[in-house]
Amino acid sequence: MTQGELKDFLWEKAEEYEAPDFIPHDPLSVPHRFTRREDVEVAAFLAATLAWGNRVSILKSLDKLMMRMDHAPGQFVLEHEEVDLKVFDGFVHRTFQAEDARGFMRSLRSLMEKHGSLECAFQHHAPEGDGPMAIKPMLSGFHRAFMAQPGVSSRTKKHVANPEAGSAAKRLNMFLRWMVRPSTRGVDLGLWTSFKPQDLHIPLDVHTSNVGRKLGLLQRKANDWRAVDELTAALREIDPEDPVRLDFALFGLGAMEGF
């Protein structure tokens, strides 16, 4: 297929899959339950963190996590006492366990109290100026700050990716997509204004990477940060203003259609 045909094909698929019907069976449905800013931020961060594995099991785990926080995740993070963290005893989602949940609560509280919001906690680590080159150092800086907060176990670091270590940071990039992209189509949340959609990076997973390779958009074999950069650059050629919109196309083709 020609470059023009590929562009039209991906735009068509993005249009098809960026729809509210996509939400109920996706982790993104969890932050959509809330309206208060701190609830949306915390729910989205936790939903993205747990978003690996079977989607049914992900949603079950997120429901249990929200229930333990009395369905007010932002309030729980900001107002909990240490004794309250006992509610996470016995919580497990794959390798994310009670100790990790308690560490997340402690770190999120420290960062949100210090910076005023989770958005500002991320923005604090963005280098001067804007643009796509700011995302990698920002995510790595956030990783270091998150792990440096008191009461966070070293085992928890694998749940907050660090691109400087080569990670594709799929869940963090997905979280940024949710928070930054406009909510006009009723899917992403569009809550954050410190970043622009054109600066975002593809949440690279097995579906998006495999489809990207089949379409000639990605040559690198490893699913690491270099692959994220390569595929995102190719998507910017197709949609310079909102390249990660095409995440819907690539994911839908791979996960829904077995492309």
Task: Provide the pLDDT for residue 138.
Answer: 96
Residue 20 φ/ψ, nearest 5 degrees = -55, -25
Query: For residue 110, which of 160, 148, 139, 66 has the smallest C-alpha distance?
Result: 148
Quick check: 130 pLDDT over 70? no
Residue-wise pLDDT tens digits, 60-69: 999 999 999 9
- How many structural domains compose the chain? 1
Q: What is the pTM of this model?
A: 0.96
The half-sphere exposure of 248 on its side-chain side, counting CA atoms within 13 A, is: 25
**Residue 187 contacts residue 23 (beta carbons within 8 Å):** yes
CB contact at 8 A, 110 and 151: no
CB 65 within 8 A of CB 91: yes
**Secondary structure element (H or E) that encloses residue 96, with its range:** strand 96-97
Q: By residue range, what is the domain housing residue 120? A: 3-256
pLDDT confidence of residue 129: 67
Q: What is the mean pLDDT of residues 117-141?
A: 90
pLDDT greater than 80 at residue 73: yes
Which pLDDT band holds residue 1 (cuts at 50, 70, 90)?
confident
* Residue for token pair 């770190």: 107
